Copies of this chain bind each other. A is one copy, B any other.
């Protein structure tokens, strides 16, 4: 079934990129900066494409193709960075999907950097393997800020050979960790999401308590950074979002709800109770029901604002 290994040895120079969203655009820019030739799929966000076209001369090059199949035909590896499993499936196996173009000029490897269920990753890997192609799951942590600086944490599930092939590509966007076979990148990403979803709520709950008790929030954050409560969300995320009075440009609350749902679904099959994550899911869902699903997930702070007024 698998193609001879020697057809895959040449280093990756031309990279397809499907999904130039809030994360994909800065990640594609990191690849350009590192000298890769990036071929994007015609994207509904014309502004992202135009920004990347404007920068194409910097060191790498940038071009467009009309669909994922055409992108795959022109490249050595195809990165997918979309919201959820149905969009990954469509990009790979839909009409004019990448799987139709793999193995032409390209070397037939897909790197899925979306956050989806590890079970879905393994099923996509199986379908591609049957066609003789490789699949790597490589979801990221760090948000748009660390995507822009090429400083993402990249959690990778892949065979040793496949990891070695895509590592230079991943290094252009951040620090890749090889965590096991296909699906293990997504598993560890969900572990990250389980933690951040409750940490964000705990931080917001605690800051609401501090504010209502008359404490100076800047001082509180400074003290807590040296205490046992110290956490990245409090020190680095909230100051750019809720504490700066904005919820734009972070990580959409509805995407976190999707990740929590995938975690709770996986926990269900493992018969593992996750009471804190279950409550976090409900609290974010209530916030989304108020119309805030597209805001950064620190918008959960709004749930603590209006209480206690006489």
Please tell me if A302 contacts chain B, counting CB pairs below 8 Å.
no
B198:A199 contact, CB within 8 angstroms: yes
Q: Does B307 lie within 8 Å of A214, measured CB to CB?
A: no
- CB pair A209 B194 closer than 8 Å: yes
Check: A271 CB closer than 8 A to any chain B CB.
yes
| Total chain A interface residues with beta-carbon distance under 8 A | 69
State the CA gap A124–B210 with chains docked (Å): 21
Quick check: which of A18-26, A92-100, A225-233 contacts chain B, the rest being far away? A225-233
A280, B272: Cβ atoms under 8 Å? no
Q: How many copies does the complex hold?
A: 2
Which of B141, B202, B220, B263 has a CB less than 8 Å from the CB of A199?
B202
Question: CB distance B213 to A270 under 8 Å?
Answer: yes
| Bound CA–CA A267/B234 (angstroms) | 21
Q: Interface digits, A190-225 against B, CB 8 Å rule (1 contact, 0 not)?
A: 111111111101110111111011111001101110
Whether A143 is near chain B, meaning CB under 8 Å from some CB there, is: yes
- Given contacts A228-B232, A228-B237, A232-B228, A209 and B272 within 8 Å (CB-CB): yes
Report the separation of the CA atoms of residues A153 and B225 in the bound assembly, to the nearest whole angstrom.
Answer: 10
CA distance A216 to B274 in the complex (A): 20
The answer to the question of A131 belonging to the interface, with a C-beta cut-off of 8 Å to chain B, is no
- Measured CA separation A175–B224 after assembly (Å): 12
A215 is contacted by which of B142, B187, B214 (Cβ under 8 Å)? B187
- Segment touching B, from A29-37, A60-68, A104-112, A177-185: A177-185
Pick from B188, B231, B283: contact of A232, CB under 8 Å? B231
- Most B C-beta atoms less than 10 A away, residue of A184, A205, A273, A283: A205
Closest to A204 in B: B276
Please give, as numbers and ranges, the residues of chain B lying within 8 Å of A232 by CB-CB distance: 227-231
Residues of B within 8 Å of A212, CB to CB, are 270, 272
Q: Is A125 an interface residue (CB 8 A)?
A: no
Closest to A178 in B: B219
Within 8 A of B (CB), among A278-310: 279-280, 283, 304, 307-308
Least Cβ distance of A163 to chain B in Å?
A: 14
Name the contact of A229 in the complex, choosing from B141, B214, B216, B226 (C-beta under 8 A). Answer: B141
Q: Is A121 in contact with chain B by the CB < 8 A criterion?
A: no
Q: Which chain B residue lies CB-closest to A219?
A: B179
Q: A180-B214, A187-B210, A202-B194 are in contact. Are A230 and B227 (CB under 8 A)?
A: no
Which residue of the partner chain, among B180, B210, B273, contacts A188 with CB atoms under 8 Å? B210
- Please, which residue of chain B has its CB at the minimum distance from the CB of A277? B205
Can you show 16 pairs from A to B with CB atoms below 8 A apart? A141-B229, A143-B228, A155-B227, A177-B219, A177-B222, A187-B213, A188-B220, A191-B210, A191-B215, A192-B224, A195-B224, A195-B231, A270-B308, A271-B307, A276-B279, A276-B280
